[in-house]
Each structure stands twice: as C-alpha cells, then as structure tokens.
Amino acid sequence: MTSASTVHAPSGEAGGARASALASAQGATTIADTVVRKIAGLAAHEVPGVFSLGGGTARALGAIRERIPGAAASAGQGVSVEVGDTQAAVDLQVLVHYGYAIADLANAVRANVITAIEQMTGLQVVEVNISVTDVHLPDEESTPAQDRVT
C-alpha cells in the first residue's frame, strides 16, 4: 500500500474523462490512502444492517478510544485500501446485525462503497472484498466488562 496516490489521465484509454478531472495541464490532484479509507468506512456504515467495522481487537480499541474525552473511533477502522494512479481496491471487515441476509448486505455495502469512492475521488474501484467477522445478536450489549461488575 502507498501513502498517497497521484492520479494521471491515461492517454487514449477508456475512462480518461474521469481521470482528466484529477490531472490536467494546470496540475495533478493527489489523494491519500487515508481519504479513501475514511470514505469507504463511512459509506459502509450508511448501509442498514452493518453494526460495526473491524475485527474484535479493532472494535475493542475503538471502544476504548471513544471513552477518552475528545477522541473518536476512526472512520477507517476495519478498512484496508490500496490506491494506485487511477484505481483503488478496498478490503472491509464487517460485523452485521442478526437477521440480515449477509449476501444481500454485502452487495449493498459493496455498491455503496464503490459509488462513494468513485463519486468523491474520481478513482475507479476495481474490487471491494468483504469479510464478515461476526454477527451482532439483539441481546448482546456493547457494554465494557467493567460496567457489568457490581
């Protein structure tokens, strides 16, 4: 993975019109991986049925971070991206609400992530891989262990 990407208009390639908005005679636009990661995370969270992103450790660290005044969970938690000159690939770890059809949910997340990244950055999203890491049950609370001790 790279830390940033400069998007150049391919000469004579289909899709060049999209990329030409990012590179022109006046200069080039650079989009950092963290930007694409945040866009993907926020777009995934918009889909009903997505409870959280990330594996167990990432979610635990995010819960701790939320308890610190002034800190917030990262929008890119559970999201990995690879950004090239004109394309991006995304890997998501998703925790879903119980009762949702996982295949349909994954397709909805994939479509929303692709649309958001392509509209906001002009990059072509070549793949969105989704790993469902857990199912959130209705009776499970997101209460830290210290709150359950009486």
Query: Rounded mean pLDDT of the chain?
Result: 79
Identify the CATH number of the domain defined by range 33-139: 3.30.70.1350
95 phi and psi angles, rounded to 5 deg: -105, 120
Question: Does the pLDDT value for residue 21 go beyond 70?
Answer: no
- The confidence band for 16, taking pLDDT boundaries of 50, 70 and 90, is very low
Q: Quote the CA–CA distance of 69 and 59 in Å, as a whole number.
A: 18
Question: Does the pLDDT value for residue 6 go beyond 50?
Answer: no
State residue 3's pLDDT score. Answer: 46
Q: Which residue has the tokens 């790993």?
A: 131
State residue 8's pLDDT score. Answer: 40
**37-56: pLDDT as tens digits:** 999 999 999 999 999 999 75
Q: Which amino acid is at 134?
A: D
Query: In this structure, what token pair is assigned to residue 62?
Result: 């995010």
Q: What angle do CA 129, 77, 94 make, to 5 degrees?
A: 45
Between residues 35 and 4, the one the model is more confident about: 35
Q: At what angle do helices 33-45 and 102-121 cross, to 10 degrees?
A: 140
**54-73: pLDDT as tens digits:** 975 544 445 554 555 655 55
State residue 147's pLDDT score. Answer: 47
**106-143: pLDDT as tens digits:** 999 999 999 999 999 999 999 999 999 999 998 876 54
| CA dihedral sign of residues 75, 77, 83, 89 | negative
Q: Quote the CA–CA distance of 112 and 42 in Å, as a whole number.
A: 10
Question: Does the pLDDT value for residue 146 go beyond 50?
Answer: no
Share of the chain above pLDDT 90, in %: 54
Q: Which residue has the tokens 């998703």?
A: 94
Query: In this structure, what token pair is assigned to residue 118?
Result: 């392509």
Quick check: helix, strand or coil at residue 41?
helix
Domain ranges of the chain: 33-139
